[in-house]
Amino acid sequence: MKFRTDPSQIKGSIAPLMSPFTADGAVDHAGLTNLVNWQLASGTHGISLGGSTGEPGSQTIAGGAAAIRTGAAAVGDRGAFMPGTGSAKLDETLELTAAARDAGVDAALIITPYYARPTQEALYVWYKTVAEEFPDLPIVAYNVPSRTAVDIAPETIARLFRDFDNFVGVKETTKDFEHFSRVLQLCGPELLVWSGIELLCLPLMALGGVGYISATSNIAPVAHVEMYNAWMAGDIETARRIHYGLHPLVDLLFVETNPAPGKWVLEQRGLIESAFVRPPLITPTDAGIARMKTLLAAGEQYLSPVDGFQVAGFTPKAA
């Protein structure tokens, strides 16, 4: 089976980009391109967008498809591109996945359908339908039970991996570390597993994960790349130091609902023009910002340089 990229090469630090909007809420395509360029210049191994950090629930299918096309053009052949194309509705999932395939992505990240709480058999049928519809596109399940109210069981992952050549992996965003272990034990090292939980990025590597899709890489891409590279080189001490050093920035991103705090940081640093988040989210409160400033200072050494990527007309914000 021929894919644009060997799926096994989609490894390392994959940045799940925050979706930049203008101050009036429109998709900021220039801002998105700027973020992609900054990430790749920082050494990031690949780009995702349209996952939870990208506010997919507030976007239309047409808007999501347009963002995917912008992302694909910006990434080009400089890294892997694995956008989220899932929805709670099957027709929307198929439509957005088709748009991603046509844009030339490396894989499609399909979230478990949220709110409905389907059974494991229903989840199998859901992913079977997508995999059969797009046999030329690698499919990756996105398991995030804290947002979807459903957990795709290791046995279901194993069944899909066994039955469909283009079902290649799973982004596991669960704090149940035993779940990670059982997925890899059932499927073996050929299944690609990424952590979507920031503080489990490094631990998953010890179990055989191929990398991570960490929201914190939105503000600290270099550190995430260095942590991965150190681990792969056997420099566990350096990898562990970075892991613990990133804790304040991880905490910062979740002072209020992600991605509002991270967008505030990106705006403060001049990487995007506006920290706007679409309803029902709101920009950080004054109390939240006060806490975020404390955490930002604590983790400052792990922030990545932004020189050359600040938006036109940026002026530093007052402390």
* Cβ within 8 Å of residue 271, ≥6 positions away: 31, 34, 35, 38, 306, 309, 310, 311
Reply yes or no on whether 114 is catalytic.
no
Asked if 110 and 76 count as a contact pair (C-beta separation under 8 A), the reply is no
Asked if 112 and 148 count as a contact pair (C-beta separation under 8 A), the reply is yes
Reply yes or no on whether 212 is catalytic.
no
Instruction: Point out the catalytic residue in the list 11, 124, 127, 171.
Output: 171
Asked if 20 and 35 count as a contact pair (C-beta separation under 8 A), the reply is yes
Tokens of 175: 């704090």
Q: How would DSSP label each residue in 196-247? A: -SGGGHHHHHHHT--EE--GGGGT-HHHHHHHHHHHHTT-HHHHHHHHHHTH
114 CA to centre of own chain: 17
Tally Cβ neighbours within 10 Å of residue 290: 11
Element (DSSP H or E) covering residue 189: none
Which of 252, 256, 281 is CA-nearest to residue 269? 252
Rounded (5°) CA angle 291-211-296: 15
The verdict on whether omega for the bond into residue 261 sits within 30 degrees of 0, i.e. cis, is no
Residues 22, 301, 83, 154: is their CA dihedral positive or negative? negative
Local structure of residue 174 (DSSP, 8 states): -
Instruction: Point out the catalytic residue in the list 11, 124, 127, 142.
Output: 142
Element (DSSP H or E) covering residue 19: none
User: What's the rounded Cα separation, in Å, for the pair 24 and 111?
Assistant: 28
The CB-side HSE value for 37 (13 A sphere, CA atoms) comes to 17
Three-state DSSP class for residue 122: helix
Catalytic residues: 142, 171
